[in-house]
Structure 1
Amino acid sequence: MQSSELARLAGVTVRSLRHWHQIGVLPEPARSSNGYRDYDAVDLVRVLRIRRLASLGMPLERMGSVLDRGDSSAGLLDDLDAEISAQIARLTRQRELIARMRDAGASPDVPPELAPVVSAFVAAGLSPEMARFDRDQAVLLAHLAGEEGMPQLVRVYEHLAVPARARAAADLMNRFGAIDDATDAAVVEGIVDELVDACLGLLGEIDEPGIRSRLTRAAHVLSEYAEESLNPRQRAALDSVESRLAAS
């Protein structure tokens, strides 16, 4: 029989047969005079056995011992059971994270630990443009903080997410987001003053070992992101904020 007939009888695709040939789990049959693979009932049985093992979750690369040597030891089944248990645990954690993201009304690409806080800023009135900027910063900061620094970063965000602070932060960021070529220089300078005061106040209130150094290390990456995401007046304002904080 040809590959299409074998695939139909076994309930698989011709593409699967080709893949199994490539990785060696299904030996290549002899070819007929017209050059097509010529399968027989033995090949059909092997394909059915592959399907059965795959349905148990057995990786293709581990099927050789069962298909060729008849290895059906309890140890192999124990390994499969352990692997499936690990997959279930991983999927359960993913479902829990998805539930947390859904409850927070957050974008799925935001780190789940920060999702409720990022959503709090949006609820406080952060503009869509600044919400995207804040989201991207959260993604960058979470990556730079790593697993070790994430608890500290969460505490910083939670400090800012208290309703009164969140509203003040959203208002300040919205005014920063509105800066353009037409914005009066005195208005820009006032916003810079407020940003500096807010940053100094935050660092003063969140006085935990490691936070200031982590934020300092992250500053150059965030600056590069801002360079590509903000307009020239906004970038100049942030440069001024960064310079004044460095001198404080």
Structure 2
Amino acid sequence: MRSGELARLAGVTVRALRHYHQVGVLAEPHRTGNGYRAYDVHDLVRVLRIKRLAALGVPLERMPEVLDDDGRDRDATELLDELDRELAVRMERITRQREVLALLRAHRAAPDVPPELAPFLAVFAAAGVTADMRRLDRDQSILLAHFAGEEGMAELARFYERLSGPALFPTVTAISERFSRLGPDSTDGEITELARSFAAALGPEIGKLDEEATAPGLDAAAELLGRHTEDVLNEQQWEALRRFGSLLEALPEE
């Protein structure tokens, strides 16, 4: 039989047959006088065995040890055990991914938002924070989560939880709304007053985060956050943050 007939009988494509030849799991058959490959029923059985192994997740490079095992059941058992372990790891990863998806869907969060912070970002989004501020919060949360790592995520989540809690949330959203309105028409006094409001509301919480932080990467994140805001904020907003930072540095340590 020719390659087209073999492919049809086996339920594969001719391209797949060529690939099997290239990787060495299916030997090249002899060719007819006009150059066509000539397969027989033994090749069909070989291809069907390849399909069954592929369905189990056996990679092509591992197939020869099963296809040409000469009855070595012990090697086949070891391979099956290995495949089972790989599937167990994959299933565990899929379960975690589904849990993350469920969390993101529950809070209507974007797929790229850190799932541990999604509940708190959703609170600010629901409060009517401007789209620009939501994007800023999202980008900064992604940076912080990456550099916090697993060991620092708990501290970071607690920080976000405090900001979105009933004690601070009204103040934080009001300050955020005022911050979003800063522009060329803003006076120096407005900028200073906003920086002071920032420091009064967030200074203690940032201090707690510094005290709790165990992830060394958060220091690098702080520098990158500054560089990020340079590109996305206007001159007046950047000046408010600069004055806010100066006020934080001047706060007495507890």
User: Where in structure 2 are there 5+ consecutive unaligned residues?
Assistant: none
1:79 matched residue in structure 2: 82
2:133 matched residue in structure 1: 130
3-state DSSP class of the match of 2:183? coil
1:172 matched residue in structure 2: 175
User: Where in structure 1 are there 5+ consecutive unaligned residues?
Assistant: none
1:218 matched residue in structure 2: 221
TM-aligned CA distance change 1:93 to 1:215, over 3 Å? closer
TM-aligned CA distance change 1:87 to 1:205, over 3 Å? closer
Alignment check: 8 A CA contact 2:168 2:201 kept: no
3-state DSSP class of the match of 2:225? helix
1:110 matched residue in structure 2: 113
1:162 matched residue in structure 2: 165
Alignment check: 8 A CA contact 1:125 1:167 kept: no
Alignment check: 8 A CA contact 1:110 1:138 kept: yes
* Deviation by residue 1:95-151 (Cα, 9 ceiling, x = unmatched): 112112222222221111111111112123322221111111111100010111111
1:145 matched residue in structure 2: 148
1:66 matched residue in structure 2: 66
What TM-score do you get using the length of structure 2 for normalisation?
0.85
Alignment check: 8 A CA contact 1:203 1:212 kept: no
CA distance in 2 between counterparts of 1:85 and 1:144 reads 29
Alignment map for 1:6-25 (pairs within 5 Å): 6-25=6-25
Alignment check: 8 A CA contact 1:153 1:211 kept: no
Alignment check: 8 A CA contact 2:151 2:214 kept: no
3-state DSSP class of the match of 1:182? coil
3-state DSSP class of the match of 2:105? helix
Alignment check: 8 A CA contact 1:125 1:171 kept: no
How many residues were matched structurally? 248
CA distance in 1 between counterparts of 2:83 and 2:221 reads 43
Alignment check: 8 A CA contact 1:124 1:166 kept: no
* Identical pairs, percent: 49
Q: RMSD value over aligned CA atoms?
A: 2.5
CA distance in 1 between counterparts of 2:184 and 2:36 reads 71
CA distance in 2 between counterparts of 1:34 and 1:229 reads 68
1:195 matched residue in structure 2: 198
TM-aligned CA distance change 1:56 to 1:181, over 3 Å? same
3-state DSSP class of the match of 1:113? coil
TM-aligned CA distance change 1:25 to 1:242, over 3 Å? farther
Cα drift, residue 205 of structure 1 = 5.0
